[in-house]
Structure 1
Amino acid sequence: MLLRILLIVGLGLLIYFGIRRIWLDWSKKFKSDDEKARLARRERDLAERQRPDVIDLKRDDDGTYRPKDRTGRDADDR
């Protein structure tokens, strides 16, 4: 009887720690993938800022975003 209880408890612990290990490995993998995606987005955004057709906006006192050049002309000098 004691052997049967120890066997069931041992199997239960093996199953518990196996599932826990799988859960932690998957969580680590998903976090790693999210970090790679975040870095890729950041690199893409930085590359897009360097394009000549991108207009830099500055938040004005009233909360509206406007081009930095306040002379009335667009940033691309149409």
Structure 2
Amino acid sequence: MLLRILIFIVLGLLIYFGVRRIWKDWSGKFNADAEEAKRLARERDRAERQRPDVIELKRDDDGTFRPRDKDDADKRH
């Protein structure tokens, strides 16, 4: 009887730690993939901002985004 209880406890612990390990590996992989996607999106956005055909918008007093004025064009960062 005691041997059966020990076997069930050992099997339960093996299953618990195996599932926990799989969970941590998968969540780490998904988090790494999400960070890589964010990094690639930032790089793409930076590259697109440098293109000459991209129009920068400025928020007006009424909250609407409009193209920058000619005098603000020289103040680009």
Give identity over the alignment, percent: 71
CA distance in 2, matches of 1:62, 1:13: 62
Aligned-residue Cα RMSD (Å) equals 1.4
More helix by share: 2
Task: Name 2:18's counterpart in structure 1.
Answer: 18
Report the TM-score, using the length of structure 1 for normalisation. 0.87
CA distance in 2, matches of 1:41, 1:68: 24
CA distance in 1, matches of 2:50, 2:25: 38
Unaligned 5+ residue runs, structure 2? none
Aligned residues: 72
CA distance in 2, matches of 1:31, 1:57: 33
Unaligned 5+ residue runs, structure 1? none
Report the TM-score, using the length of structure 2 for normalisation. 0.88
Aligned pairs for 1:1-78 within 5 A = 1-69=1-69
| AA matched with 1:18 | G
